[in-house]
Structure 1
Amino acid sequence: MFAQSTEGNPEEQKAAAETVGATEVVFKDLAHTRQIDSLWLATLYDTSRYNEAQQAVQSPWDSIALHDSLWSTALFKERLAALDARTPFHVEYNVSLEQIVRGYLKKRRTSMQRLIGLSHYYFPMFEAILAQYGLPLEMKYLAIVESALAPTATSPAGARGLWQFMFQTGKSFGLEVNSYVDDRCDPLQSTIAAAKYLNKLHNSLDDWDLALAAYNSGPGNVSKAIRRSGGRTNYWNIRSFLPRETAGYVPAFLATMYLFEYAQEYGLEGGRPKHPFITTDTVRVKKMISLEQVARVSQANLAEIEFLNPSYTLGLIPAVKDHPYYLRLPRDIMGSFVTHEDSIYALAQQEFNQREQPLPELMNQNNRIRYRVRSGDYLGKIAEQFGVTVQKIKQWNSLKNNQISIGQRLTIIPRRIPVDQKPTEQKISTNNASGVYIVRPGDSLWSIAQKFPQISIDDLKKWNGISGNKITPGMSLRVQKES
């Protein structure tokens, strides 16, 4: 834990660990550097961005019906016209949009206020990136429609993150996915990718409403809708020709934008986050460390550290040569971490060395395994066998609850292979004289390397002239170096 001192002469304070043990690290921070951070934080909290006045009294929409006396269609039209004048979107009145807005106020008031609170964390970062790429700043509301600002949100189809990227789409815009990291869940990286994608869609369609529709359903569906409508290019004129989900997508975006822009008028107020994005900072990780270790040594809440670092799917930050990975922390913690990082890494390594099972090599997402549920299995048991969490298994397989059935196939990215899953020497199809292994169904380079403790995935690739990770059943692989 940190025992931080800000008293005394800064020159006399030493940036050194007082104790380094298996369970405790006590530090004294540099007082003058903490003073600099403190002044910087005071400046950040003083900006108008984080101090918008909100009305304390909330209208009791949840307890009464929305009669005409509590809702003015004329005023709604007036505000829509004002939005239309100051945004590049086609904000026009129609009955459907009015019903959505009134429905949100009636049924989603609490969730809208929660989203307003979360927006104080994400929106400053969104706006900076959207401005950098020349997109309308109002595009920030798209992340609310896509994910409700949940950085690890996963759709049944497999889309992930604030901006709901599918695996291949994310990859095409530079988002990395491997056994440790899913950049689709990284707020900064995924927002940059979303800005690039939206720009590309707008360049093709020359209309922001259509770009939104294409983001949801794909540019092909929008193109077909334009053809079926006789060449019309206004979203509202082609809406009936779009997939059902997309037909309600743009109205949901417009309704969200409307309520956020007029939140104060409707008494919608969300709390400000403890650490807005701009009051956090990143440091490049030099050695592998877990988020749990970071939280423990900094006396921070683990949930908070995980919230700031949602892209590390296993709760571990790898250290890979020539490939930087970063840890995001509140600035009031960052100073102590940087000052004492060598001691922290030493403690982390000491704990890793005491673990019974070795940590996995950094591997591509394609090296996942498929596990068949057996009699007596339950998610907790399977998670324990493979060294992962129940939540991760549910995420990888889009499970809404903990129910599984015998014979069901589960995708797992293992941190270890259970003893009863490891083949014996007799079961390994290897010609000992020639050092050749015959690939079996379900094998991957990673699982084969696990069967031969003295070799790595890189060895298999090098000895067999493999550039990627694809192998097929029946393939012969050399599992020892030629003499």
Structure 2
Amino acid sequence: MSRSVSFRSLRLAPLAAAFVLLGACASQVTKPTPTPPTVKGLYSQLDQASQGYETALQQARADDTAASEKTLTTALDQLRDAAAQCGNTPGCDPQRFFSVFDHLLRLKDGSFIGDELPDEQDSESPSGQVAGLNGAASLPQARRSVTLLHGQKLSELIAMNGPVKAALEMWLTQWRPNLMDAYVNYQYLRHEMWPQYKKADLPEALLFGIMAKESGGKVNAVSRSGAAGPLQFMYATGLRFGLGTVNGFDTRFDPTDAARANAAYINEQLKAFNDNLELTLGAYNGGEGRMRRLVGSDTSISFYNPRIYDQLSQETRDYVPSVLAAAWLFLHPDSYNLRFPRVDGVPGTITLKRPASLSELTVCLGEAGGMQDGWFRTLRNLNPRLDPQQELAAGTVLQVPRLLEKPYAVRCVVGPWPILASDLHNAVVPVVPVRHDPPRMSRATHYRVRPGDTISSIAHRHGCTNLREIERMNRIHHFQIRVGQVIRLPACRR
């Protein structure tokens, strides 16, 4: 977008102000009907918003971050007001407003750094500070880490094209509850996941975007295809990056390990695709082998080029813009009429004073801390190695948000709530025998788990549909199996 600014409206401003004052004096008795905005007037406001961009840019480079933020906010508000009237004004082009709006947002997250100085190169010092540019130095470290991907400006890598805009609308409408849940879940997991991305020099917004699309922040999520964990690794892919079964626990479900492996995978693919983020995300979802065959040696090709885009599955075509849109909203919620809830995700621990399961703790904690949906998901996410239904011995140390340490001591040690929770948890439900059709059944069998197997894939291979029955027969928790394990399979239909 051209940054030349029209000053015609600024020269006419004093004259316009004089007419406004005269009009005010003459309207003591009768208020005039507001004059509908003209295209010229709206475009004048557009020019003023552009001037606000230039001013904010200079203020940032003068290390006056507070003034820069204030100027930018004013410009965005002015732009929104004018854009709202553009749709009802004949001859007004809304796309002109969107282009400036998009540009202002990119300034807001720090992507203006170096835009005006093409001869200077950003460089990383050993301490992680960006050297050579006052604008960069004035930004908080957290802001830079959010927006930079291997020295590139993340917001410049996210093109506001049709697919991304459509994904933005989905996140703001039909997927909005999922987005909010993902944000809350992530805030409680952030202390485990974000450091892994930070070490890998990857932006936090990208981590959130992938997690929001993959699992919504549900650590124990398992897909139909067998992908598992908060970032949905297939078993074989996870093995390549250090994920596997340790003491019977599938480390794909560990938030720290999963984030580390995901960061390693993303960096591997960024290197293969010359830092092309869209192709990298396409590889993560659709398979790097397929993506590399489609791309060939031309890593500069656009993900949306028909030679690539048309050959991908609909899932992958949707996946890439959805991740980028979620990352964009993570950076700019206010600019899309979106307000993420405030979450106190500071980690803490509790030591059980009496035996209890995670389910029982959820009951006795209730809505402590204002969590209307209860704490079951958070407790599971922070303690993925534990069966939420299994009673834990007194003295067990649990990972919890720090804000739950006091409510636990007040509600879950003595009093009526732990007694009620225990009574509900130990309720006996009658078991109705499952009737089978003998003529259509095969004998129960045993199976040795191989690399890449999941309960669902084994069940499908043997014609079984009742995964819970397999879990019960083998005393398996959360469908977690290990390579070499021999499991019993029920008599399944062929």
TM-score, structure 2 normalization? 0.48
TM-score, structure 1 normalization? 0.49
Question: Which structure has the higher relative contact order (CA within 8 Å, separation 6+)?
Answer: 1
Structure exhibiting the larger radius of gyration computed from Cα positions = 2
Relative to its length, the structure with more helix (as a share) is 2
